[in-house]
Structure 1
Amino acid sequence: MIVACAIFMECVDENVIVTALPTMARDFGRDAVTLRVAVTSYAVGLGAFIPVCGWLADRFGARTVFRSAIGIFLVGSLLCVATNSLITFALARFVQGVGGAMMVPVGRIIIIRVVQRADIIRAMNYLSVPAMLGPAAGPLLGGLITTYSHWRLAFLVNVPISILGICLTNKHMTNTDEPHPGCLDWTGFFLTGAGTALLLLGLSLIGSELVTNRDACCMAAMGVVLLAGYVAHERRTPLPLLDLHFFDIPTFRASVLGGSLFRIGLGAMPFLLPLMLQEGYGMSAFESGLITCASALGAVFTRTVATRVLQRYGFRSVLVVNAALSSVSVAAHGFFFPCTPTWVISVVVLVGGFFPALQLTALNSLTYAEVASRDVGRATSLGSAVHRMSLGLSVTIGGIMLQISRLANGHASIMWSDFWPAFLLVSLCSLASIPVTLRLPRRAGEEITRASRI
């Protein structure tokens, strides 16, 4: 429950900001799409510090790191309330990202280390509940506060949850006793952190008013070079920060690489849908929040059937078929019209929440199917880093495609007809996860599903 509350807080925070983006853009005097840098800066903090979370948990104890991460997230939330410009707000979001980088992955490490393998699917199912409820509460809360008060107040919601989380952690958690992980790979930390930051920031700044497109592209290119440098560095380092050899495990490779492609389509939805409803259809933040939260209600139903579906059909079949259905549901959001009845939009969003939730439950359960308990920390660092980078790319890809569509249509500001190419592109990214999943053995993950029957 403690870890679930932390996940819930992060999910609410992520969905509050995307609902409030158009209003925040007017306060900062910027274009709404430009404010994707505020979303990406959070992903930069995550991507830069997630690689070191496994080492920190092994070195200083998972409870100590988890508790500190909640404190950093709290400080970042308070800074978001106090900012008065887009630059300072992006920096505050970066601080939040640093806290989130250690909070959720280390919480996951704690769960994996104490849960029996037979209970992994059930444990991940429970952990998926706050990840589902957060996207429901976030848009509602963000829309309500933004429409009837001020968007800054939304970040104060994190204060009582953070304080409660720290108190409960002190009372109920104990530090796990793990072997000393050795010296930190500082070179790897620099290459992965700087590479991720430059790549995500560079891509998010393309087409913005903050830097020239040339400078943004140079930043992204430097990020790619640094990340490529890490691949070469990892091969000749005895204890690398991110051990890429975990990709030799079929279930881990399919879950992380295939799952990251899938998450590009899923991660763009909370950014594109509220923006389309508000900027394209003229809805208020509260009205768009009511519709957006419908996807989370569809996801909640997944919890009741996920285990039985995986036992009946197996991981490989579920991941392949469900990825196709999820891609169709994402693309369908781009074909609404201003005259489309609100109930039709709500039903599509509701149904569209079921398939991604089932996919995430399967992916999260499969990640550790063949990973030894002693390697959970390092595997979590690698998997979380790749996942978070994909979520940062999702907002960036969706935003760039939206700007290209607007310019191609000759619109001075965003119109409803500019959104369908962005939805279509990110849906194709999710569809691209199928070839990776098809490489799984047909009976992959059978040990987990068989154990969960006992």
Structure 2
Amino acid sequence: MKKTITVPNQEATKKMLPVILATAIFMQMLDSTILNTSLSAVAADLNESPLNMQNAIIGYVLTLAVFMPISGFLADKFGTKKIFIFSLIIFGLGSLCCSLSTNLTQLVLSRMIQGVGGSLMTPVGKLALIRTFAKKDLLNAMNFAIIPALIGPVLGPLVGGYMVDYLSWHWIFLINVPMSILGIALSLKYMPDYRSTVIDFDLRGFLIFAAASLALSIGLELFGSEVYVTPALFVLLLGFMLMYFYYRHARSDDNPIFPLNLFKVRTFRVGILGNLVTRLGISSVPLLLPMMVQIAYNESAVVSGWMVAPMALTAMLGKSRVIKILRRFGYRSTLMINTFIIGVLICCMGLPLVSQSIYYYIPIIAILGFFNSIQFTAMNTISIADLRLYHTSSGNSLVSVNQQLAIGFGVAFGLIVLKIFQGDVKVMTEDIHDAFRKTFWVIGILTICSSFIFRRLHEKDGLNMNT
């Protein structure tokens, strides 16, 4: 089903492949958030309203979600090494184009070029990792490579704020160029070149699934504004209809891009659903907390970035403990209890009044980073634990697409809830802070409820990943 075209030194590959993947994940996750604290500076330089600058963020996220499904096919046909290096080149060129943009249209198009590169980088890198390591070693490798997925969203607003204040907004994109070059150099020497003998591509299925993902994402974005409620409902309905059409298509097609029998694997099914629902709450916190610090507490963007910085340190601590925790308690108990704890911590962020110090949030964020790291590692590894070899490409690609959509849905969901509670009151600081508090309660309770999804796991699920 697959063969290795190029096999670098096996031991060297196993040492360097997680580093290469970690570099790619870091660039992708950093770029997903680094623009957040820089929007005002970029808008002023491009003579645009900060509200219009949201298109630069949306364009990047949607491009990631739309093009990720094709990553598995391209890797199988042209080889993981060629596609991974190609993705780094495209991402680096897109970053350079972003820094050279002179108007919003150029910036949005450049961000979409970045998105094309990013949509291939992480899934193809993970696929190479899965095919290189035995299941008993995969958790350790994935555990190391996924650390940047936790650090990137934390450092993004902080790095963006400092670069805008002390350099210029162009550097938030130029920083990716040397990192891309480093990734290319390492990949030329250490990236294995796996490919598959199956070269059929489900173009129709890809177009239907991509259109459905695009419609659902745009629908949720539009839902955040009362002006676009009716169009948002229509676009969401269209997205669900397209998902149904894909289901009908996948049932009849001999080689669909995402085979329906993937969902016959219970651990994959639970992992996908748990990832989607759990991230609705988790993904909105890194956006809502800095917004609250700036709007309700009138602090600077740099201060708001520092507020979430402790999450990175405790995330690394969590990574050092997650394997022992999973071996002792198993995936089922770990995910149920861990998700519940995360939900409670998010609810605690809604307890203090605006008169209390912002430093109240620091220990909560620090503890949250520890449990988030356990959550992401456990969900990602259990999703692929029982996949057959011939399903690794499509299954890994779908996990990546689902994760990206879940992050986008989570951010949109958090903003929608905040909009509902905020209502028409936009002047009184105390009322705005109260809206943030209620939003944290809602997403926290949702996260607590999502813990019951992992009850579908069995006590022995995932044990082959730890032995």
TM-score w.r.t. length of structure 1: 0.91
| Pick aligned residue for 1:271 from 281, 287, 296 | 287
- Quote the residue 1:183 is aligned against: 200
**What CA distance in whole angstroms lies between the structure 2 residues aligned with 1:235 and 1:341?**
56
Match of 1:202 among 189, 211, 219: 219
Quote how far apart the aligned CAs of 1:176 are.
1.1
Residue 120 (str. 1) matches residue 138 (str. 2): yes
1:230 alignment partner, one of 246, 252, 255: 246
Q: Which residue among 61, 65, 74 is the counterpart of 2:79?
A: 61
**Given the alignment of the two structures, is residue 145 of structure 1 paired with residue 174 of structure 2, yes or no?**
no
Give the corresponding residue for 2:110.
92
Q: Which amino acid aligns with 2:302?
A: F
Q: Which residue of 2 aligns with 1:398?
A: 414
Contact kept, 8 Å, 1:36 with 1:204, in 2: the verdict is: no
Shift of 1:24: 4.8
The superposition leaves residues 53-76 of structure 1 with CA deviations (integer Å, 9 ceiling, x where unpaired) of 111111111111111111222222
SS at match of 1:259: helix
Report the CA distance shift for 1:326/1:87 in structure 2 as closer, same or farther (over 3 A).
Answer: farther
In structure 1, distance between residues paired with 2:414 and 2:43: 18
Hey, what's the Cα distance between the residues in 2 that align with 1:114 and 1:324?
34
**1:428-447 aligned within 5 A:** 428-447=445-464
SS at match of 1:419: helix
CA–CA distance in structure 2, aligned partners of residues 144 and 288 of structure 1: 12
The corresponding residue for 2:13 is none
Contact in 1 for aligned 2:426/2:432 (Cα 8 Å)? no
1:256-314 superposed Cα distances (whole Å, 9 cap, x missing partner): 11122112212112221221112222211111111111111111110221111111111
1:78 maps onto 2:96 in alignment: yes
Partner of residue 70 from structure 2, selected from 49, 52, 65: 52
Match of residue 4 from structure 2: none
Is structure 2 residue 221 aligned with structure 1 residue 221?
Answer: no
Q: Is the 8 A contact 2:128 2:192 kept in 1?
A: no
Distance 1:403 1:150 in 2: 32
User: What is the percent sequence identity of the aligned residues?
Assistant: 32
Post-superposition Cα deviations, 1:76-112, rounded to whole Å, max 9, x if no partner, equal: 2223323455554344333222211111011000100
- 1:330: Cα distance to partner? 2.0
**CA drift at 1:343:** 3.1
CA distance in 2, matches of 1:145, 1:410: 30
Q: Note if contact 2:75-2:195 (Cα within 8 Å) is conserved in structure 1.
A: no
Q: 160-169 or 68-77, which moves further after superposition?
A: 68-77
- The match for 1:295 is 311
Alignment of 1:131 with 2:158, yes or no, is no
Contact 1:191 1:230 (8 Å CA) reproduced: yes
Q: Distance in 2 between matches of 1:417 and 1:22?
A: 25
Question: Structure 1 pair 313/65, CA: closer, same or farther in 2 (3 Å)?
Answer: same
Q: Residue 35 of structure 2: SS of its match in structure 1?
A: helix
**Whole-angstrom CA distance in 1 between matches of 2:97 and 2:446:** 34
What is the aligned counterpart of 1:8 among 21, 26, 30? Answer: 26
Pairwise CA RMSD: 2.3
1:334 counterpart SS class = coil
Separation in 2, partners of 1:91, 1:204: 19
Asked whether the 8 Å contact 1:40–1:396 carries over to 2, the reply is: no
Amino acid at match of 2:219: G
Superposed CA deviations along residues 372-419 of structure 1, whole A, max 9, x for unmatched, are 223211111121122211111111111222222222546599933322
Other structure's SS at 1:438 match:
helix
Greater relative CO (CA pairs within 8 A, separation 6+): 1
**Residue pair 2:284, 2:410 contacting (<8 A) in 1 also:** yes
The size of the alignment, in residue pairs, is: 447
CA distance in structure 2 between the partners assigned to 1:402 and 1:242 by the alignment: 35
Contact conserved, 1:202 with 1:216, CA < 8 A, in 2?
Answer: yes
Find the residue that maps to 1:176 and give its secondary structure.
Answer: strand
Structure 2, unaligned runs of 5 or more: 1-18
Structure 1 residue 331, shift from structure 2 partner = 2.5
- Asked if the contact 2:220–2:232 (Cα under 8 Å) also holds between the matched residues in 1, the reply is yes
Tell me if structure 2 keeps the 8 A contact 1:244–1:382. Answer: no
Question: Is 2:92–2:176's contact at 8 Å kept on the other side of the alignment?
Answer: yes
Comparing 61-70 and 327-336, the one that deviates more = 327-336
Distance 1:216 1:344 in 2: 37
The 1-side partners of 2:54 and 2:335 are apart by 30
Cα deviation, 1:197-228, whole Å, max 9, x if unaligned, reads 1221232133559x844334333322222122
- For normalisation by structure 2, the TM-score amounts to 0.89
Larger mean CA deviation between 414-423 and 346-355 belongs to: 414-423
Matched, 1:332 2:321: no
Q: Aligned partners of 1:89, 1:401: CA distance in 2, in Å? A: 29
Residues 219, 376 of structure 1: alpha-carbon distance in 2 compared, 3 angstrom cutoff: same
Could you say which residue in structure 1 is the equivalent of 2:57?
A: 39
**Is structure 2 residue 395 aligned with structure 1 residue 387?**
no
Counterpart-to-counterpart distance in 2, 1:402 and 1:22: 21
Question: Any unmatched runs of 5+ in structure 1?
Answer: none
What displacement does 1:184 show? 1.2
The alpha-carbon distance between structure 1 residues 160 and 124, as it changes in their structure 2 partners (threshold 3 A), is same
Answering whether residue 381 of structure 2 is matched by residue 360 of structure 1, we say no
**AA at the equivalent of 1:312:** R
Against the structure 1 CA distance between its residues 332 and 433, is the aligned structure 2 distance closer, same or farther, given a 3 Å change threshold? same
**DSSP-derived class of the 2:457 partner:** coil
* Partner residue, 1:421: 438
Greater mean deviation of Cα atoms: 92-101 or 280-289? 92-101
**Mean Cα displacement is larger for which, 387-396 or 150-159?**
150-159
